[in-house]
Amino acid sequence: MRDQGFADFDFLIGEWNINNECLNERLAGCTEWHSFPATARVEKVMDGCGNLDQMFVPARGFTGMTLRLYNPETRLWSLYWSDTKSHRLFPPTVGKFENGRGEFYGDDVEGGKPVRVRFLWTAGESPRWEQAFSTDGGGSWEVNWVMRFGRK
C-alpha cells in the first residue's frame, strides 16, 4: 500500500493563475512590495512519486520550474527550484505537511550572505505559498515572496 504522503501536493495539480507579491529588496529592511501575474501548470511525474510545475511570468521575463520529490522512508518532500534568470538548480528545501500546512527548510546564499530558507504552503481550493529568509539560523524571518493561486 502506498504512503499517503505521496498525495500531499495533489491540491496543486492542474492549471493556475497566480498573483505574486514580492518585497522590493531582500534583507535590507525594505517594507515596499510589488505585484505581478503568472500562470502555472502542475502535473504528477514518475508514477505519482513527485510533481513538476512550470511557472510562466511574461511580465517579468522569466519561466520557473519546481520539481517536488517525496521520500516514503523519511516521509519528507524535497523541493527543487530553477528559473531562466539564474540558470541554476537551487538547493532543495525539505519538509512535510501537517494539517494542510507544509513547512520546508533549506540553506542558500542571498546577496553573498548565507541564509536559511523557509517555504510555507497552505493547501486547499486557493493555495498560498510563502518564502522567507533568515540570517540568524531561523531565529527571525523576513517574508519576501507570497504567491496566491486561483484555478484557471
Q: What is the model's pTM?
A: 0.94
Which amino acid is located at 68 in the chain? R
Look at residues 148, 6, 152, 150 and name the one whose alpha carbon lies nearest to residue 76: 6
93-115 pLDDT, tens digit each: 999 999 999 999 999 999 999 99
Look at residues 9, 21, 69, 19 and name the one whose alpha carbon lies nearest to residue 40: 19
Helix or strand holding residue 51 (H, E):
strand 50-57
pLDDT at 2: 78
31-70 pLDDT, tens digit each: 999 999 999 999 999 999 999 999 999 999 999 999 999 9
Cell 504552503: give the residue.
121
Please say whether the beta carbons of 149 and 14 come within 8 A. no
